[in-house]
Amino acid sequence: MKKLAALTLSLFLTAGTALADSPKDADTKPAKAAEPAKPKAAKKAEKSDSAIAAEIEELRQALQSQQEQLQLLKEELAKRDRQIDGAREAAAAANARAAEAGTKASEAVNSSTEVKTTAATLNSTVSDLKASNEVLKTTVAKEQAQAQKAAEEGPSTIKYKGINITPGGFLDAAGVFRSRATSADINTPLTGIPYPGNSLSKVSELNFSGRHSRVSLLVEGKLASAKIGGYYEADFLGAGTTSNNRQSNSYVLRQRQAFAQVAFDNGLSLSAGQMWSLVAEDKKGIVNRSEIPPLVEDPQYVVGWTWARQYGFRAVKSFAKDKVAVAFAVEAPQTTFGGRGFSTFTPATGNPSQNFFINAPGAGGGLFNAFDATGYTTNKAPDVIFKVALDPGFGHYEVFGIVSTFRNRVYPCAVVSPAATNGTGTVVLNGPALTGTSPGVTCANTSPSAVSAFNDTRTGGGGGASFNVPLFSKKVDFGVKAVVGDGIGRYGSAQLADATFRPDGTLALIRGEQALARIEVHPTPKLDLYIYGGNEYAWRAAYTGYSTDTVATSQIVVSCTVDPVTCPQGFALQTITTHNTSNTRIGGYGSPFANNSGCSAETSPTGSSTPGTGGTCAGDIRNILEGSVGFWHKIYQGPHGGVRWGIQYSYLTKIGWSGNNNNPAAIGIQPKAVENMVLTSFRYYLP
């Protein structure tokens, strides 16, 4: 290309030079050779002036013409010089462009590969972006739908200032059928199952109730290193003095739980108020509201389950990533007692007194229930409970201990009698003289007195263990719990007695045992099946040597000296006071000498609202057993709440301690009561 441009430029310059050297109108043919000069003629005559002037003019014009042509040639040369310079510049520019084009061509070859690679990457990225865009569209659509749904449904937790408030509970329509009446609502008095001699055992009962409906409120607030809050729960299983089933069926609200809590981020938590006792097992760890009561519909739960809802102050510390929890609690105490045959003084007026007391009736002004026949214990110290819970990764395991303090007041001189029959015969002693019921204490008085009274304190308690493990891919939960100790009866569902009393009035703690096995099956998320088997047992705590003094009065006619004032008729009525005494009576709890002869003998009612309670029947309970099966079916469970229904069947047996009616040769009679129950429930749960 460069050679071709140079050749063209050379030819152009050569042609231009040639043209510049030739006259404008010159003939390009070669000039002919000049002809030889001819010999001059003879001297001619001299030219005229006019001819010379004409020649000069002709020469002048020729010179002017040549000058004009020369000027034109100069202009033409200048023009050609400019053209040559332009051509040179064009050639240089062409060469530069050619070089640049070559460089760009090389770069284009190199970048072509990059472009292809980039294009492939871009194509892949575009495809990914398209796919991501579709996923994003789907996600956004779902989130928008969820947001719309949440907006329609509203929050499950209400935010108020710096706290979260979560309402809860359920509305319950329940019913119960019992083959032997207990005169009870859906809450079964397990120790009250009637023996065959009780008239209630001859009739069944059917009751319906909405009183198990429950309301709850959880309040929580978050601090920098702790969560604070509280929980309240109540139902309507309380009874007021005017509550009845005649028309309005109105019953009062009953507090179940009401406690405050501080839970620190380091695993320490403090709780105080009315709550489930620490003896109740948890699902995991030791955490309030994680207790696992049996799934039964009976609010008294099932025989063998150890529990209470009472005041407590609890401290819990978790370790090893919540795999170990240790707890300590002080809880409200109370004493239940049982047995019979205690040392008693019965005056002629019929108002007996004993040589001890442990409970007192509730004071209405103090807001205790004055109508509770069992009364309130005058407690000396709280119950102290320790617990350790393990969650190693398979199942939940607990061990715990209870320490309880019991106290009563003893009156050694409350059951006494005259030393002997007096000389006039107006006071008659029929039996041994009673000088006091406490060893080492001799009472000078012959009528009940508080002389030498003292307080008697005993320490009881016990221990227990439980486990609950998931089986078959968490479709089955299997658990066992057992507790044994002295004075622990009230912690069982059946509420067997904690204590009885010796002949001298001091406390005798009753050894007790509670055990429960549980199987809960979850074949589908909407169906729960359960089987429970439980037993509660109370050992004998029987004694002999109880004292009794039963006073009777009578009048006899005696003669007298006639006196207008003291004996106007010559005779008068004289009062004779007789003390029928004994210091060999039997008593305590589960005495083998007890009289159970009338446990199966029905008696007539004492009034239209007082069925017969049967014949003579000590009937101290040895053990109660219960087997329960049932299910819960969730019809609906979702953001709008939950609807479920269930049926429970229970078979209960109450077995008393045998008694031979103080006849060693006789075979002891062991009373037994059986109950069949069916409970139904239909509930709506708040979301």
pLDDT tens digit string along 462-516?
999 999 999 999 999 999 999 999 999 999 999 999 999 999 999 999 999 999 9
Is the pLDDT score of 5 beyond 70? no
Q: Mean of the pLDDT values across residues 202-230?
A: 97
- In this prediction, residue 69 carries a pLDDT of 83
**Token digits of residue 389:** 């819970």
Phi and psi, residue 134, nearest 5°: -65, -45
Q: For strand 571-589 and strand 427-430, is the pairing parallel, antiparallel, or unpaired?
A: parallel
- In this prediction, residue 118 carries a pLDDT of 59
- Separation of alpha carbons 489 and 166, rounded Å: 36
Residue 2's pLDDT band, with cuts at 50, 70 and 90, is very low
Is the pLDDT score of 282 beyond 50? yes
Is the pLDDT score of 561 beyond 70? yes
Lowest-confidence range among 378-382, 589-593, 666-670? 666-670
Is the pLDDT score of 616 beyond 90? yes
- Separation of alpha carbons 613 and 192, rounded Å: 12
pLDDT digits (tens, 9 = 90+) for 157-199: 899 999 999 999 999 999 999 999 999 999 999 999 999 999 9
pTM of the model: 0.77
- In this prediction, residue 37 carries a pLDDT of 45
**Mean pLDDT over the full length of the chain:** 88
Q: Mean of the pLDDT values across residues 228-234?
A: 98
- In this prediction, residue 44 carries a pLDDT of 45
pLDDT digits (tens, 9 = 90+) for 15-63: 444 444 444 444 444 444 444 444 444 444 455 778 888 888 888 888 8
Please enumerate in sequence order all residues whose Cβ is within 8 A of that of 555, keeping only pairs 6 or more positions apart, or say none. 573, 574, 575, 576
Per cent of the chain over pLDDT 90 is 69
Is the pLDDT score of 102 beyond 80? no
- In this prediction, residue 12 carries a pLDDT of 45
- In this prediction, residue 83 carries a pLDDT of 80
- In this prediction, residue 32 carries a pLDDT of 43
- In this prediction, residue 26 carries a pLDDT of 42
652 closest CA partner among 672, 630, 626, 633? 626
Lowest-confidence range among 485-494, 568-577, 580-589? 568-577
Is the pLDDT score of 679 beyond 50? yes
Q: Mean of the pLDDT values across residues 305-334?
A: 97
- Separation of alpha carbons 33 and 315, rounded Å: 146
Strand order from edge to edge, sheet including 541-559: 353-354, 344-346, 541-559, 571-589, 427-430
437 closest CA partner among 503, 500, 501? 503
Residue 151's pLDDT band, with cuts at 50, 70 and 90, is low
Q: Where is pLDDT greater, at 521 or 130?
A: 521
- In this prediction, residue 130 carries a pLDDT of 67
- In this prediction, residue 626 carries a pLDDT of 99
- In this prediction, residue 366 carries a pLDDT of 93
Is the pLDDT score of 152 beyond 80? no
- In this prediction, residue 526 carries a pLDDT of 97
CB distance 199 to 214 below 8 Å: no
- In this prediction, residue 19 carries a pLDDT of 40
Q: How far is CA 166 from CA 157, 289, 467, in A?
A: 5, 14, 31
Q: Mean of the pLDDT values across residues 206-218?
A: 98
**108-112, 158-162, 304-308 — which one is most confidently predicted on average?**
304-308
Lowest-confidence range among 327-341, 346-360, 622-636? 346-360
Q: What is the dihedral of CA 428, 434, 436, 440, to 10 degrees?
A: 140
166 closest CA partner among 94, 244, 231? 231
- In this prediction, residue 567 carries a pLDDT of 78
Per the document, the length of the chain is 687
Listed in order, strand segments (DSSP E) in 142-247 are: 158-160, 163-178, 205-209, 214-222, 226-235
